[in-house]
């Protein structure tokens, strides 16, 4: 952990269809029925949201359903994140929040959510990832396999071994990495290119993935150009704050720091 503050963008992924298990768990909370519920993912790369293919939760993590103080919306995040949000006036949960219930990460798997700006406009699925930390962000990670080596490696594992991971093939089939940013060295699929070049076999290859993540992040930030979306043709450095503002102004995101 560094001493600096990370300025995240929290992306609001509206629940379209609960998984069977989540549906059963949440039937006991009648207050949820009329409310919009969002899985909230913390990202440092808002400019990549055009290429979201899925969302990740940690199967061993516990999540709370928190009613926002300032809106009628409900957010699914870890207890720790909810507490942090309550201290941040910019967050919709700022000031106070009430906990309506809780749900395990395992139960969230297979839930269909809307990913704002994503080219997959019909919704994307919540999938398991080994390496979701309880101590960072909201415990929900939105997945951009074109630009994040961690996301690419995890999604590829799920596609190869859907039985082993207990997921249905239709939750991953057809959700391919989509181009969003290009760099002169790595083209428009930097994460798959690095995973190939560095012979990263799976999401368990932690050391190599850490190196790939560092390279992808720097390359994208300093040399990346937007290939799609509202700021197509602009550099990533230029577009990053603009996409963030766009998402926030549309009500699809909010600022969060920790």
Under the binding rule (CB under 6 A), the answer on residue 213 touching ligand A2H is: yes
Residue 84's alpha-carbon distances to 77, 79, 87, 136, 171, in angstroms, are 11, 9, 5, 11, 32
Dihedral pair phi/psi, residue 65, rounded to 5°: -105, 115
Short-list 79, 207, 88, CA closest to 135 = 79
Under the binding rule (CB under 6 A), the answer on residue 44 touching ligand A2H is: yes
Instruction: Please report how close the Cβ of residue 147 comes to ligand A2H at its closest, in angstroms.
Output: 4
Instruction: Please report how close the Cβ of residue 258 comes to ligand A2H at its closest, in angstroms.
Output: 8
Under the binding rule (CB under 6 A), the answer on residue 70 touching ligand A2H is: no
Under the binding rule (CB under 6 A), the answer on residue 27 touching ligand A2H is: no
The DSSP string of 85-154 is: HHT-TTSTT-S-EEEEEEEEHHHHTT-EEE-TT-S-TT-EEEEE-TT--TTSTTSEEEE-TTT-HHHHHH
Other CB atoms within a 10 A radius of the CB of residue 229 amount to 21
Q: Which residue is nearest to ligand A2H (CB)?
A: 137
Considering only residues 142 to 181 of the shown chain, the ones binding ligand A2H according to CB under 6 A are 142-144, 147-148, 151
**Cβ nearer to ligand A2H, comparing 13 with 144:** 144
Instruction: Please report how close the Cβ of residue 151 comes to ligand A2H at its closest, in angstroms.
Output: 5
Quote the CA–CA distance of 140 and 126 in Å, as a whole number: 9
x-or-dash pattern for ligand A2H, window 111-140, by CB under 6 A? --------------------xxx--xx-x-
**Cβ nearer to ligand A2H, comparing 110 with 149:** 149
Quote the CA–CA distance of 93 and 85 in Å, as a whole number: 6
Which position among 22, 40, 45, 64 is part of the footprint of ligand A2H (CB under 6 A)? Answer: 45
x-or-dash pattern for ligand A2H, window 215-234, by CB under 6 A? --x-----------------
Size of the site for ligand A2H (CB under 6 A): 21
Short-list 36, 25, 1, 16, CA closest to 251 = 36
Instruction: Please report how close the Cβ of residue 24 comes to ligand A2H at its closest, in angstroms.
Output: 26
Quote the CA–CA distance of 109 and 84 in Å, as a whole number: 25
Q: Which residues bind ligand A2H (CB under 6 A)?
A: 6, 42-45, 48, 131-133, 136-137, 139, 141-144, 147-148, 151, 213, 217
């Amino acid at each position: 952990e560094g001493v600096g503050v990370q300025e995240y963008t929290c992306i609001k992924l509206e629940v379209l269809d609960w998984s069977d298990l989540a549906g059963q768990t949440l039937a006991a909370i009648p207050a949820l029925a009329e409310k919009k519920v969002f899985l909230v993912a913390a990202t440092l790369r808002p400019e990549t949201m055009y290429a979201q293919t899925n969302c990740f939760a940690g199967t061993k993590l516990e999540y709370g359903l928190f009613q926002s103080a300032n809106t009628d919306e409900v957010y699914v995040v870890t207890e720790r994140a909810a507490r942090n949000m309550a201290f941040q006036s910019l967050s919709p949960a700022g000031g106070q929040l009430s906990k309506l219930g809780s749900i395990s990460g395992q139960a969230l798997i297979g839930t269909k959510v809307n990913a704002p700006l994503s080219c997959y406009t019909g919704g994307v699925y919540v999938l398991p990832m080994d390496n979701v930390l309880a101590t960072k962000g909201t415990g929900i990670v939105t997945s951009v396999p074109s630009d994040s080596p961690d996301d690419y490696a995890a999604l590829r594992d799920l596609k190869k071994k859907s039985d082993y991971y207990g997921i249905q093939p239709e939750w991953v089939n057809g959700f391919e990495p989509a181009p969003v940013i290009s760099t002169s060295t790595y083209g428009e699929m930097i994460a798959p290119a690095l995973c190939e070049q560095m012979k990263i076999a799976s999401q368990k290859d932690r050391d190599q993935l850490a190196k790939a993540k560092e390279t992808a992040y720097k390359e994208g930030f300093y040399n990346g150009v937007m290939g799609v979306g509202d700021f197509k043709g602009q550099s990533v450095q230029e577009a990053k704050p603009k996409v963030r503002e766009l998402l926030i102004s549309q009500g699809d995101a909010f600022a969060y720091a920790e």
